Structure 1
Amino acid sequence: MFKQRVLTALVLAPVMIVGIFFLPLKPFAFFIAAIATLGAWEWANIAGYQRTWSRVVYALVVFVCLYISARFLRVFPEWLIVYLALGTLWWAIAFALVQSYPSGTRLWQSRPIRALLGLCVLVPMWVGFMHLKEQPHSSLLIFYVMLIVWGADTGAYFSGKRWGNTKLAPEVSPGKSWAGFWGGFATTLLIALLFGLYIDNWVEPLTLENSWKLLAITVVTMVISVLGDLVESMMKRYRGIKDSSSLLPGHGGVLDRIDSMAAAVPVFAFCMVVLDWGLSP
C-alpha cells in the first residue's frame, strides 16, 4: 500500500503542479473541469448510481454545467458572487447535515438529492478556482489555499494522534477529534502569519486592515476545509464504501484527494470578494 501511494504521488505531483501553476487561463479551466468531471463520476457512485452508464451520464451533466457556467459568467461576470455565495451557503447547510447524521439522512437519502448535492460541491469549486486564477499573483493565492488545507490536515494528524480522545464527529468520521481540529487551527494560524510576513516583505505592504481580512479569510477557509472532508466521509459512510473509487492506487479516488479543497476554494474566493481583499498587480 505504501509503495502504491508513493508511486501514485510521484506521477500525480508533476501533473498537478504543471496543471495548477503553469497552464494559461483557458487550458487551466479545462484542467480543473477534467478533475471535477472525474470527481463527478465518483460522486455518482456515492449518490447511489452504480451502473457505468449512469455514472458517465452524471459526469457529462456536471461537465455541461461547468461549460454553461463558463459561458454565462463570461457574458455576465457580475453573477460570480451569486455562484460563490450559493456554494458557501451549501457548506453552511452541510454543517447542519453533518451535525444531524444519521437521524437527518431522510433529508438527502434519495439518489436525485444526493446527485444535486454533487453539483453544489463541484460547480462552485470550479468557479472558485477560475476566480483565483484570474487574480493578480494567482499561483500564490492558489498555493496559499493549498497551504491552509495541508496545514489543517497536518496539524490535525499530529495533535489528534497525541491528544485525540474527544471525537469531533464520531458518527461521521471516528478518526477526527477536537484536539485534531484545534491542532489544525493553530497550524493554520502559523501559516497565515508566515504568509502575511511574506506578502508584506516580498509582494506589497500589508496594512493592518488587510492583515485582519487575511486572517478572517484564512480561519473561515480552514474550518470549511474540515467540513469538506466530513461531508464526503458522511456520504461514503451512508453509502457503505471506504473510498470514492480506486482511480488513484493507494489514495482512493479523486474526491478523496480534493474533498477539502472543493470546500475551501469557493469559500476562500467568496470571502475575497465580500471583504474586497486581494493582491495588487
Structure 2
Amino acid sequence: MSEASGKPAGKWGDLPKRIVSALVLAAIGIVEVWLGGMWFHGFVAVIAGLMTWELTRMLGPDKPAMPVPMGVLACAALFVGSSFLPPQAILPVLLAPALVGATQLSKDRLIFGAYMAALMLACYGLIVLRDLRGIEWILWLVLVVIATDVAGYFVGRLVGGAKFWPKVSPKKTWSGTMGGWIAAACVGAAFGGWPLVVISVLTSFFSQMGDAAESAIKRHTGVKDSSNLIPGHGGFLDRFDAMMGAALFVLLVGTFVGLPAGR
C-alpha cells in the first residue's frame, strides 16, 4: 500500500478489482449463455444499450439528454431485430441507431456512425453465434478473447519491450500482443483442428483491433474510461471492446466464408 494515497501501489495494483469484476461478469454471462434464446437476446441487447450510452456520452458531451434515449433505442433495435423480424428487415433496424445518433451529433458524426454500426453488428453476431452454433462456439469465442486479454496483460507487463501502437494504446506492447495470439492459438487447438487455430489467431487480432478502436475514441475525446460502471475495468465499452471486434470478425467470416467445424 502507498502510505500517501492508501491505495495499492505497483503495476499489479488494479489486479484484485479486475479479477472480482471479471468473475461477476463471467457468472452472469454463463447463466445467460446457458439459458439462450430470448434470455440471451435480452442480455446482449442490454449490454449494447449500455455501450451505446457510453459512446454517446463520449462523442456528444454537449448533448446531455441524448445518451439515455440512444441507449434505449439500441437495446430495443437489437432485441426486436434479433428476435422478431424477418431476415431482410434485420439489417436496417440494426443500423438505425447509428444513423439516428450520427444525425443528432454536432461533431464526430462519422466516427459515431461507423463505430455504432460495428457495435450493433457485433452484438448481433453474438446472438447469431449462440442461436445457430450453440454454447460451444460462444465458449470458444469468449475464451479466445479472454486468453488474448489475459496473456497480453501478463506477458506485456512481465516482458515489456517495444510498444505495439503507442499513439492509440501506449500501454500495449508487441510482446503482449503476440502472447495473446499464442494463447488464442492454444484455445483454437483445444476446440478443433488447424483451420480453427488460424481463425482463433485472426479473431484474437481483431479483438485487439476492437480494443484499439475504443482506445482511439477515448484519446480523441480526452477521457480515461468510457464510464465507471465496472470496478477495475471502467465501463462496458472498456470491458467488451475486444469482444466486439472479435464478434464482428466472426460474423463476417460466418456470413461470407463459413466457420470451420469444431471437434
TM score, norm. by length of structure 1: 0.75
State the match for 1:274 in structure 2.
Answer: 256
In the TM superposition, residue 167 of structure 1 has moved relative to its aligned partner by 0.8
Give the match's secondary structure for 2:172: strand
The separation in 1 between residues aligned to 2:170 and 2:20, in whole angstroms, is 28
CA displacement at 1:50 relative to structure 2: 5.2
Letter in 1 for 2:132: Q
Against the structure 1 CA distance between its residues 139 and 157, is the aligned structure 2 distance closer, same or farther, given a 3 Å change threshold? same
Alignment of 1:189-228 (within 5 A): 189-196=185-192, 211-228=193-210
Instruction: Encode CA deviations 1:95-140: one digit per residue, 9 max, x unaligned.
Output: xxxxxxxxxxxxxx9332232133223211221011111124x111
Unaligned runs of 5+ in 1: 87-108, 197-210
Q: Which has the higher helix share?
A: 1
**Shift in Å at residue 224 of structure 1?**
0.3
Conserved? CA contact 2:122–2:248, under 8 Å: yes
Among candidates 177, 180, 201, match of residue 181 of structure 1: 177
Residues 105-184 of structure 1: pairs in structure 2 closer than 5 A: 110-136=107-133, 138-184=134-180
Alignment correspondent of 2:217: 235
Q: Deviations over 1:22-62 (max 9, x none)?
A: 22311211110001101110011221335542111221332
Residue 158 of structure 1 deviates from its aligned partner by 2.6
Q: CA deviation at 1:279?
A: 4.9
Quote the offset at 1:7 in angstroms. 5.0
Deviation at 1:12, TM superposition (A): 3.2
Q: Does the 8 A contact of 1:228 with 1:259 survive in 2? A: yes
Which of 15, 27, 33 lines up with 1:14 in the alignment? 27
Q: Higher RCO, 1 or 2 (CA under 8 Å, sep at least 6)? A: 1
Q: Among the aligned pairs, what percent are the same residue?
A: 32
Distance in 2, Cα, partners of 1:190 & 1:6: 22
Aligned length: 240
**Cα offset, 1:5, TM superposition:** 4.5
Work out the CA distance in 2 between the residues paired with 1:129 and 1:232: 19
Distance 1:7 1:277, change over 3 A: closer
RMSD of aligned Cα (Å): 3.0
- Does the aligned pair in 2 maintain the 1:44–1:50 contact within 8 Å? no
Q: Where does residue 246 of structure 1 map in the other structure?
A: 228
Separation in 1 of the partners of 2:20 and 2:152? 25
Q: Which amino acid aligns with 1:120?
A: A
**CA deviation after TM superposition for structure 1 residue 68, in Å:** 5.5
- What CA distance in whole angstroms lies between the structure 1 residues aligned with 2:156 and 2:43? 34
User: What is the Cα deviation at residue 159 of structure 1?
Assistant: 2.4
Given that 2:147 and 2:183 are in contact with CA atoms closer than 8 Å, whether structure 1 keeps it comes out as yes
Q: 2:51–2:237: 8 Å Cα contact kept in structure 1?
A: yes
User: 8 Å contact 1:213–1:275 — kept in the other structure?
Assistant: no
Match of 1:103 in 2: none
Deviations 1:144-196 (A, max 9, x none): 11111111112222322233221111011111011111111112112211222
Q: Match for 2:87: what amino acid?
A: F
Question: CA offsets per residue over residues 212-268 of structure 1, 9 Å max, x none?
Answer: 432332122111000011111111111111111011233211111100001101211
TM-score (norm 2): 0.79
Q: 1:272 to 1:215 in 2, by over 3 A?
A: farther
Q: 1:38 to 1:60 in 2, by over 3 A?
A: same
